[in-house]
A = this chain, B = another copy of it.
């Protein structure tokens, strides 16, 4: 194994020095690493998701149902990822999740799943912590958060589009429920318990009537 140790710019030429690693007798353990190269010519989607963000959002006084500062920070973290990785061609987020779509032909990190997944997840997480104060100013970050991630392949455009529609439908559904719920609690002066007991079937109607919130379009895409 050759290991790079020093890079020097000399008369406009960059020279990199390597030395050959002495190979230890324990190096056989490297053979236990499995190859996780992803199928070529498929769309690679990486979806990140906040870990325990119910608690995290309460601990940091996120306004309900949506906290603009939090959404902006998510977007900015995604922007940081996209600025760094040119192969990420599209990203889409909601609440505490974000999806990144890599170009079909991407050969970034030789399409090794773990490398792609962890590097993007790590950069996103670092950006989230690094830029926290840019968006939350007075509200201090109380502890380091975490995001999990997964990687999924989609062979054709139609599947990828349906993936995006799936996440978008999810936003609408979540938003409908969250907005309904929190409007009843915050503006309707009901306790959460009352909302559940009393308005199980009525809340959509109620919300529309009293608070002029229209949510008809939400279920257009769902069955």
User: Which residues of A are interface residues toward B (Cβ below 8 A)?
Assistant: 3-8, 10, 17, 19, 21-35, 37, 39-42, 48, 51, 54, 80, 114-115, 117-119, 121-123, 125-131, 141, 143-156, 159, 162-163, 165-166, 169-170, 173-174, 177-178, 181, 192-193, 196, 219, 221-223
Contacts and interface: CB of A to CB of B under 8 A. Distances in A.
Given A34-B39, A122-B51, A196-B17, A115 B150 contact: yes
A39 B143 contact: no
Given A114-B150, A126-B146, A129-B129, 12 more contacts: A3-B174, A4-B54, A8-B193, A17-B196, A22-B173, A24-B173, A29-B154, A29-B163, A35-B37, A117-B118, A119-B147, A155-B155
Contacts of A144: 80, 123, 126-127, 129-131
A21 B176 CA distance: 11
